[in-house]
Amino acid sequence: MKNNAIETIGIFGGGQLGRMLAQAALPLNLTCTFFETHQDCPSAILGKVFDATNGVELQQFIESSDVYTLEFENTPLAYADALAAANKALHPPRNALATAQNRIAEKTLFDQLNIPVAAYRKVESQADLQVAVSALGLPLVLKTATGGYDGKGQFVLRDVAQINEAWQALGPAGVLIAESFVKFERELSIIAVRGQDGEVRTWPLAENHHHHGILSHSIVPAPSSEALQPIAQDYITRLLDHLNYVGVLTLELFVTANGLLANEMAPRVHNSGHWSIEGAVCSQFENHMRAVAGLPLGSTELISECMMVNIIGRHPKREDVLKLSGAHLHFYGKEERVGRKLGHVTLIPTQGNTLEGLCAELAKILPEPLALKG
Ligand code: AMP
């Protein structure tokens, strides 16, 4: 460290989010180290990877950098404690991580901050589930309180006859949460960054489309979202300020006939914000690194309407995507596997190429066009 300036940032996790964080950090003369179980992870090309299967390497990782962040929301809280013991800062703070790792703690916080959510009940037994069904009605969504992602660890309960089956499926996983089934019109996400001085900047709302529980594509700005933007911005600012948060936070929202309902938050950069690399003045990745390093934040203003499309399972031919003027290709250096996020494409309309036109062209190119073909 020279002149007390932050120069090295340690990242828990080394997936594509770590890779894009490190890519954004590089022009700022910030270098990264990673703590990750897979040595050939997407981030490996950008910095030293410490082996997360090895306790000794945790200490070495903690000595390797000036300040720490994460790209994986299930980063064990014990790592945050180990950092605190070594007097090293973690952004976002431990409390934000702990809250985001537990759906009940998360919903309780949303309630406390008057951020509307679907009605919910904690479920610790089959009898509790019966009570939840009586209180909330059917259908309801049963989720594990911890450990779920991309729709895993969930059961949609539509009939009382399924109570036993639902309990057998998820009960052994620990504490559960039962939520009223939300008849949403669409799903949005808001992403914001908070600096070390408390300044908050927010990107435009993204409209998110899923396929088999995985994000397929995001449209930015979310169509017809002018009236929703200030509301979502207010909700995420309440969370950021309450948590004394530093870095990027994502809040996933349902649009319903009665307004916005919060679903969950992610204490990290998010797939629905990848568009910001080309579509915003300063991306979620760069602003996260700026915040973590204690640097001034960049503008979150939109440069152009755009669309981010995930590449899942199989790679398209690089040259086919690059032939599309206005398509920005990001491969993550991963091997193909069913359902795996391998990369993404951001589409920016150009003269003579509308977003709809580009999207139709891209749908022809992607081996698995997901929900793009409707
Ligand atoms: P989550 O893991 O909470 O993000 O849920 C994954 C997906 O399941 C969401 O993106 C929604 O499409 C759907 N979902 C989650 N909770 C509910 C709910 N209470 N009602 C209806 N759909 C839900």
pLDDT digits (tens, 9 = 90+) for 280-326: 999 999 999 999 999 999 999 999 999 999 999 999 999 999 999 99
CATH class of segment(s) 186-365: alpha beta
CA nearest ligand 1 atom 7, residue: 151
Whether 182 is in the pocket of ligand 1, judged by its Cβ within 6 Å, is: yes
Ligand 1 atom closest to the Cα of residue 179 is: 19
CA nearest ligand 1 atom 9, residue: 151
What is the reported pTM?
0.96
Whether 263 is in the pocket of ligand 1, judged by its Cβ within 6 Å, is: yes
CA nearest ligand 1 atom 1, residue: 151
pLDDT of residue 280: 98
**Structural domain spans, the chain:** 8-90, 119-180, 186-365
**Ligand 1 probe mutation, 263, 264, 265, most atoms within 8 A of CB:** 263
pLDDT of residue 213: 86
* 8-90, CATH topology level: Rossmann fold (3.40.50)
For residues 271-285, give the mean pLDDT: 98
Residue 352 has pLDDT above 90, yes or no: no
**Ligand 1 probe mutation, 104, 121, 141, most atoms within 8 A of CB:** 141
Whether 264 is in the pocket of ligand 1, judged by its Cβ within 6 Å, is: yes
Question: Is 119-180 a domain of CATH 3.30.1490.20?
Answer: yes
pLDDT band at 374 (very low <50, low <70, confident <90, very high): very low
- Distance (angstroms) between ligand 1 centre and the Cα of 274 equals 21
The two three-digit tokens of residue 302, written as one number: 């939109």
